[in-house]
Amino acid sequence: MERTQIKNLKEKIGEKVKVSGFVQVRRDQGGIKFFVVRDVTGTVQVVFLKGAGEVFNKAGEVSLESVVSIEGLVKEEKQAPGGFEISAESLEILSKAEPELPIPVLEEKSGEPTDITKRLDWRWVDLRKEENLKIFKVWTELEKGFRSYYSQQGYIQIYTPSLMGTASETGSDVFKLQYFEGEAYLAQSPQFYKQMAQASGFEKVFCVGPVFRAEPSFTSRHMTEFTGWDFELSYIDSHLDVMSEEENLIVSGFTQLKNTVLPDLEIPSTPFPRITMEEAKEKLNKAGIKAGRKFDISGEEEIEICKIIKEETGHDFVFVTDWPAEARPFYHMRYEDNPSLTKSFDLLYKGLEITTGSQREHRYDVLISQAKEKGMSVESLSDYLNFFKFGCPPHGGAGIGPGRLVMKILNIPSVKEVTFLPRDVRRLKP
């Protein structure tokens, strides 16, 4: 018999079906045994009657979270979850679970929740929880929405290497490793290669891939490896064009989420609020928030500026623009009338930075000058700088942290909890 997914059982009332999944709950009431069986689409109650013979006895051998296949009749039952249940006629144990689970799949509502560290130690069991499955459905649908926009706008997907011969930012906070007779770095970003694609005439590109940061951070927002969503486009007038493009991407992603897994999600209106970094600092100062670093915005300041913008506009997003050159990489373009400021931005969402972007500097001589100013070796950057020697259109782009975006969409306290297998300073397994 062909397997039926649990979400489709309501259409099969009065029919015999086969379902397969994990045994989430089991109860024994003497002459009746109950299972709740879970697959990726939902759960169903299964009833084993003593008069059914061997299948009843076999049900008694099954431990929680064992994987089973069950054949039986779908019957209407108002007291059962969903209004129907399966009366079991046969049972096959596909994989029997050890009797003692390392962590519970169903947490006791009255008890203490399982510690996050232990949950991550047993991640594959933790991911069986319905709420955790939902996280990755959100990831999937959000990316579908982004890809839909990319497709409509003629973007080309590129696949950039994780191994680089030169650090992609300033050289700090990178993982260095031996590479045969030389050294290599794990990519902090696909930035250089996105720009190479502009010099190649691709005009609009996006990429999805791992990003590595050797920051010894122990916060709820940092990891040593995470997934980055990046895009880059040519023939822009300024970083404002990049910001508008990201707004369109986010609206497309949120619309896809609303139409699939999050019907109550609010689609953000465009344009998003935009303030300069100087204006952000002024608003924080006026609100009595103690100023952090002069050339940066601290995590606390991100939270507070988002609260202020929410009160002023009702919006959960805000672009903070015009960052000082001291705070930005050498390849960010600067204002000609004020070279102390860059044509760059961060996008904040619900108190958290989720994006950094800018118009890039595409002029070879200016790039050399700005790299030297940052104390970088022009020789070590020669492969990158060569991209701009033979013509390159004006361009810009952004790097998005989708884990942080999903974290805030679902109001989950740590980016590690929305990551399939998080990597941080202390965690390299499972």
Judge contact between 21 and 14, C-beta under 8 A: no
**DSSP letters spanning 274-317:** EEEHHHHHHHHHHTTPPP--TTS--HHHHHHHHHHHHHHHS-SE
State the Cα–Cα distance between residues 370 and 170, nearest whole angstrom: 12
Residue 327 pLDDT: 93
In this structure, the number of other CB atoms found within 10 A of the CB of residue 140 comes to: 13
* Model pLDDT, residue 87: 96
Distance CA 386, CA 35 (A): 65
Omega within 30 of 0 (cis) for the link into 430: yes
Cα–Cα distance, 359 to 394 (Å, whole number): 8
The pLDDT value given to residue 334: 98
Backbone angles phi, psi at 395, to 5 degrees: -155, 170
In the chain the first and final C-alpha atoms are separated, in Å, by 36
Give the pLDDT score at 170. Answer: 55
Q: Which fold has domain 130-418?
A: BirA Bifunctional Protein; domain 2 (3.30.930)
Q: Which string of DSSP letters, residue by residue, matches 374-401?
A: TT--TTTTHHHHGGGTT----EEEEEE-
The CATH H-level superfamily of 6-95 is Nucleic acid-binding proteins (2.40.50.140)
pLDDT of 414 reads 96
Domain boundaries, the chain: 6-95, 130-418
pLDDT along the chain (430 residues), means of 10: 96 96 94 96 95 90 97 93 94 97 88 90 96 97 98 98 78 86 93 97 98 91 96 98 98 98 98 97 91 84 97 98 96 97 98 98 97 91 95 98 98 97 95
User: What is the CA 147 to chain-centroid distance, rounded?
Assistant: 14
What is the pLDDT, as a whole number, of residue 290? Answer: 78
How much is the pTM? 0.94
395: which 2 tokens?
């361009």
Which pLDDT does position 175 carry in this prediction? 94
What pLDDT, on a 0 to 100 scale, did the predictor assign at position 68? Answer: 98
What is the C-alpha separation between 149 and 107, in angstroms, rounded? 39
**Residues 6+ away with beta carbon under 8 Å from 425:** 216, 217, 218, 224
